[in-house]
Amino acid sequence: MDTEGNILMEKYELGRLLGQGTFAKVYYARNMSTGQSVAIKVIDKDKASRTGLLNQIKREISIMKLVRHPNIIHLHEVMATKSKIYFALEYAKGGELFAKVAKGRLKEQTAHKYFHQLISAVDFCHSRGVYHRDLKPENILLDENENLKVSDFGLSALAESKRQDGLLHTTCGTPAYVAPEVITMNGYDGDKADVWSCGVILFVLLAGYLPFQDSNLFEMYRKIGKSEFKFPHWFQPDVRKLLLRILDPNPVSRITMPKIKENSWFRKGKLSKEPSLDRSSGPSTTSTDHAENQDSMKPPNMNAFDIISLSPGFDLTALFLDPREKKEARFTIWQPASVILSKLEDLGKRLRMKVSKREAGLLKLEAIEEGRKGILSIDAEIFELTQSFHLVEVKKCNGDTLEYQNVIEHLRPGLQDIAWDEQIQREHQEVLPRQDK
């Protein structure tokens, strides 16, 4: 390892080995300047190159930059030397969810909490055009507060990976958790396949064992294809109904993410506080809900590290990603978030694009008509730097790049007080001292 003693890049003090695979090792580490615990994933460049995994690593980096969510492992930064690639990841002290389930089935209340958080994370991924494709308890971690963290995006796909038929075609995933349409290799919707995997995980949490299992792989695939399984006697009627809709072998009639969120069992005892979003307290349910609704409208805040990482000089993902693959544009604007949202909505409608709000500060624009490479889909996300100074990031999630660039050109004159990429570092240097004052 390219370290001096047990110090990596003069920044992280490496500790015990947390786990290892064929091409990577994961170490516990501590940021020496902040004291923050992290997990350092060390990848051998030579081995990854010889086995053709470099493209997978590139994809994993770009995807983890897209999916920032309280229930998804956060990628702090990427570092590299001539021989190694280092991921500095959020440290999940609780370990794998698999270790907890291996001891036996969970209480329904606990399983309900984890399933809530899993659906929240996976639905957010889908809103950003990301399909995980390998959801299982081994790829789900727990933090010190027993909150769920989805990890391992190595097999994930982006919406733009779909073929002309609008489907994904790469067969991947873990056999016991994979959807029947993935096995048939005729193409599949990434979101429907992830929904199936979430259903298998819910069954495992409540039962303590897999719904589809057999020592003969082909027999197991047959059971998956027919959704042939039995409920344990302790499963309640409402959760049985939900699982039957999730584990529907027909992806067309399988329940969708929005419908899962409307389900009575899913909504039962709904958690009023999500991890890292808990900004209110008090016995009144109404006031808590009101405070959370206000928070949900507020765009996410960017800290100094996030701002600095936007500078081309500090963004080490450029070592792995072709500049021509860049699918985002950023600008800063001296306006409140509500004004920016209104401007983006007006511009979207003028360009004949459907406009919908997905998450706090996130707007999705979709073309009404299909383009050269399917429906053009764009995310516009607002980040708060100060109360009246915001950064807006526009990303292509699906469709043709030239059509996306055309939309960007229409956005430029529409938002007149913008500072594009070449000016953004100067803007940051000006605004940060004001924040200190």
The CATH code of the domain that includes 338 is 3.30.310.80
Let me know if residue 219 belongs to a domain.
yes
Let me know if residue 110 belongs to a domain.
yes
Q: Are residues 280 and 370 in the same domain?
A: no
**Overall domain count for the chain:** 3
Q: Which residues are catalytic?
A: 134
Spell out the residues 6+ positions from residue 213 whose beta carbon is closer than 8 angstroms to its own: 176, 220
Half-sphere exposure (Cβ direction) of 29: Cα atoms closer than 13 Å: 27
Let me know if residue 114 belongs to a domain.
yes
176: confidence class by pLDDT, cuts 50, 70, 90: very high
Tell me what the pLDDT averaged over the chain comes to.
81
Q: Which of 90, 208, 205 has its CA nearest to residue 143?
A: 90
2: confidence class by pLDDT, cuts 50, 70, 90: low
Q: Are residues 312 and 413 in the same domain?
A: yes
Let me know if residue 318 belongs to a domain.
yes
Spell out the residues 6+ positions from residue 128 whose beta carbon is closer than 8 angstroms to its own: 66, 67, 379, 395, 397
Give the model's pLDDT for residue 369.
83
Let me know if residue 2 belongs to a domain.
no
Let me know if residue 147 belongs to a domain.
yes
Q: 39-54 pLDDT, tens per residue?
A: 999 999 888 888 888 8
Q: Are residues 237 and 117 in the same domain?
A: yes
Of the residues 41, 60, 90, the one at which a domain ends: 90
Q: Are residues 141 and 60 in the same domain?
A: no
Q: Which of 176, 191, 165, 166 has its CA nearest to residue 246?
A: 191
Q: Are residues 319 and 414 in the same domain?
A: yes
Whether residue 281 is predicted with pLDDT greater than 50 in this model: the reply is: no
Of the residues 62, 90, 118, the one at which a domain ends: 90
Let me know if residue 1 belongs to a domain.
no
% of residues, the chain, pLDDT over 70? 78
41 marked as binding residue: yes
The whole-angstrom separation of Cα 199 and Cα 227 is 12
CATH of the domain at 245: 1.10.510.10
Q: Are residues 262 and 335 in the same domain?
A: no
Q: 242-272 pLDDT, tens per residue?
A: 999 999 999 999 999 999 999 999 998 654 3
Q: Are residues 44 and 155 in the same domain?
A: no
Give the model's pLDDT for residue 323.
44
Q: Are residues 125 and 253 in the same domain?
A: yes
Higher per-residue confidence, 353 vs 336: 353
Q: 112-147 pLDDT, tens per residue?
A: 999 999 999 999 999 999 999 999 999 999 999 999
Q: Are residues 111 and 256 in the same domain?
A: yes
Q: Are residues 104 and 86 in the same domain?
A: no
* Spatial contact of 122 and 150, defined as CB atoms under 8 Å apart: yes
Give the model's pLDDT for residue 277.
37
Q: Which of 77, 59, 205, 76 has its CA nearest to residue 133?
A: 59
Q: Are residues 326 and 287 in the same domain?
A: no
Q: Are residues 43 and 83 in the same domain?
A: yes
CATH of the domain at 53: 3.30.200.20
Give the model's pLDDT for residue 306.
53
Q: Which structural domain range is residue 353 located in?
A: 304-436
Pairing of strands 84-90, 37-44: antiparallel
The whole-angstrom separation of Cα 196 and Cα 180 is 9
The whole-angstrom separation of Cα 144 and Cα 93 is 5
Of the residues 43, 75, 90, the one at which a domain ends: 90
The two three-digit tokens of residue 129, written as one number? 């055009």
